[in-house]
């Protein structure tokens, strides 16, 4: 069943259950049947709406006795606002509080290729932030109440290369109705494994000299729904916790996949032309075949610029081979 967008933190568990030949059969056939079921004439039978990918993440909290970090109440205080308005300094000068970014590899099979991005925020996310900014179900966001006066910082661990794939389908022929979006987060268990390795990495950070110098301790309240059948701090416990407290980053890509014309999984060719339809191109994040290991804003700008150059017939710049 598709996930309700208002409950984006509720993760379905499943398994990658089809082989590549059956996938290609589905690719060739689903669009035509789907459109016919809505009474829409088929112009080109392409796998539009397949291959949906997104970045997802979870948060780790660190409390500290050092006042260099902020509490949620301090961040929202009158004095913090006054400092910003009068001196243009302080925590409000940082975009969303994000002050650091790191890329790490936790996959022993590919140590040279980062699979997680860590974003450092100079305060703890309270219940309001967990609910409103991260989209966690309110009844679970309450688990993080009581941190408003606690100094500390938050690290967000983002899965860079998810293996799970979702779909986008029509709900009706009414263009004003929202489509049926089924992201299928964690359908591939390797995605859970990557975030689990991130949790173990977050635990190891507290043992480092730098974290000890800031008296930083991992802050985690045991989550009772995951203690019913799991021992605290076991891999099973954290897999359960990830299922409740993972949030989406809204970097959706892949549903209009670019690639070779003869590839049955693609919708547009390398020049962004929709296969089988004259005069139509797509130039946005949906053409990205496989999720990039970072934010999607700059790549989308590049895609738009490249599309404009191809339409205008502008040749690519000469490679800087001398550098």
Which of the residues 38, 143, 220, 251 is marked catalytic?
251
- CATH number for the region 56-171+186-248 comes to 3.30.560.10
Domain boundaries, the chain: 5-52+252-312, 56-171+186-248
Structure tokens at 249: 């980053």
* 56-60, 88-92, 186-190, 251-255: range with lowest mean pLDDT: 88-92
Mean pLDDT lowest for which of 18-22, 81-85, 147-151? Answer: 18-22
DSSP strands (E only) in 195-313: 217-219, 247-248
pLDDT in tens, 187-209: 999 999 999 999 999 999 999 99
Cα end-to-end distance, the chain, whole Å: 53
Helices (H) and strands (E) in the chain, counts: 10, 8
Distance between CA atoms of residues 258 and 254, nearest Å: 8
User: What is d(CA 108, CA 113) in angstroms, rounded to the nearest whole number?
Assistant: 10
Q: What is the DSSP letter of 258?
A: B
Q: What are phi and psi of 189, to 5 degrees?
A: -65, -15
User: How far apart, in whole angstroms, are the C-alpha atoms of residue 237 and residue 227?
Assistant: 7
| pLDDT > 90: percent of the chain | 55
Q: What is the pTM of this model?
A: 0.81
Where would I find the beta strands (DSSP E) of the chain?
Answer: 56-63, 98-104, 116-121, 152-159, 167-169, 180-182, 217-219, 247-248
Q: Is the pLDDT score of 180 beyond 80?
A: yes
b (16+ CB within 10 A) / e for 281-306: ebbbbbbbbebbebebeeebeebeee
Residue 61: enclosing H or E segment and its boundaries?
strand 56-63
User: Could you tell me which residues come within 8 angstroms of residue 308 by beta carbon, excluding any fewer than 6 positions away?
Assistant: 314
For the cut 50, the answer to whether the pLDDT of residue 106 exceeds it is yes
251 in active site = yes
Q: What is the mean pLDDT of residues 139-168?
A: 88
For domain 5-52+252-312, say whether CATH 3.50.50.60 is its number.
Answer: yes
């Amino acid at each position: 069943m598709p996930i309700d967008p208002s409950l984006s933190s509720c993760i379905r568990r499943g398994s990658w259950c089809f082989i590549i030949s059956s996938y290609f059969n589905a690719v060739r056939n689903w669009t035509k049947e789907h459109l016919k079921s809505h009474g829409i004439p088929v112009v080109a039978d392409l796998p539009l709406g397949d291959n949906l990918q997104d970045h997802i993440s979870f948060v780790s909290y660190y409390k500290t006795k050092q006042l260099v970090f902020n509490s949620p109440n301090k961040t929202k205080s009158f004095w913090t606002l006054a400092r910003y308005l009068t001196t243009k300094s302080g925590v409000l000068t940082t975009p969303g509080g994000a002050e650091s970014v790191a890329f790490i590899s936790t996959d022993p099979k590919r140590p040279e290729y980062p699979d997680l991005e860590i974003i450092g925020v100079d305060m703890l996310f309270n219940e309001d932030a967990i609910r409103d900014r991260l989209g966690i179900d309110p009844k679970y966001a309450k688990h993080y109440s009581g941190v408003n006066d606690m100094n500390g910082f938050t690290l967000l661990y983002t899965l860079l290369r998810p293996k799970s794939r979702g779909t986008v389908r029509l709900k009706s022929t009414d263009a004003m109705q929202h489509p049926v979006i089924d992201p299928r987060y964690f359908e591939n268990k390797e995605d859970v494994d990557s975030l689990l390795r991130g949790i173990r990495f977050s635990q190891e950070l507290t043992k480092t000299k730098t974290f000890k110098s800031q008296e930083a301790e991992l802050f985690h309240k045991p989550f009772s729904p995951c203690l019913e059948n799991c021992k605290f701090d076991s891999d099973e416990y954290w897999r359960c916790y990830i299922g409740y407290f993972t949030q989406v980053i809204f970097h959706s890509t892949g549903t209009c996949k670019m690639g070779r014309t003869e590839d049955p999984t693609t919708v547009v060719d390398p020049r962004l032309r929709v296969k089988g339809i004259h005069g139509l191109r797509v130039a946005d994040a949906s053409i990205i075949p496989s999720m990039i290991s970072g934010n999607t804003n700059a790549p989308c700008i590049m895609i738009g610029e490249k599309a404009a150059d191809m339409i205008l017939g502008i040749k690519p710049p000469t490679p800087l081979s001398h550098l």
